[in-house]
Amino acid sequence: MGTTREGIKGMTPEETRLLRALRDRGYVVVLFTPQELGRADPLAVQDAGIERMNAAIELLNLA
């Protein structure tokens, strides 16, 4: 499976529509497949990602 801007290959059409609808409303959606996560704890990855993304957003808003 591969992650693309449109979603994850193998997603159902309904999942893809939901992803597009969220993005169309201005949400940023980041997905990782179980294969991409490997043995990493999904919640730990989520927390670390949120911290880093918040810092990036703050920095980009200052530019």
Can you tell me the distance from the alpha carbon of 20 to that of 12, in angstroms, rounded to the nearest whole number? 12
pLDDT in tens, 13-30: 898 899 889 999 999 888
pLDDT in tens, 31-58: 888 888 999 999 999 999 999 999 999 9
Q: Residue 8: phi, psi to the nearest 5?
A: -115, 130
* Helix and strand counts by DSSP (H, E) for the chain: 3, 2
pLDDT band at 3 (very low <50, low <70, confident <90, very high): low
The pLDDT of residue 12 is 87
Can you tell me the distance from the alpha carbon of 61 to that of 22, in angstroms, rounded to the nearest whole number? 21
Helix, strand or coil, per DSSP, at residue 5:
coil
Can you tell me the distance from the alpha carbon of 26 to that of 21, in angstroms, rounded to the nearest whole number? 9
pTM above 0.85, yes or no: no
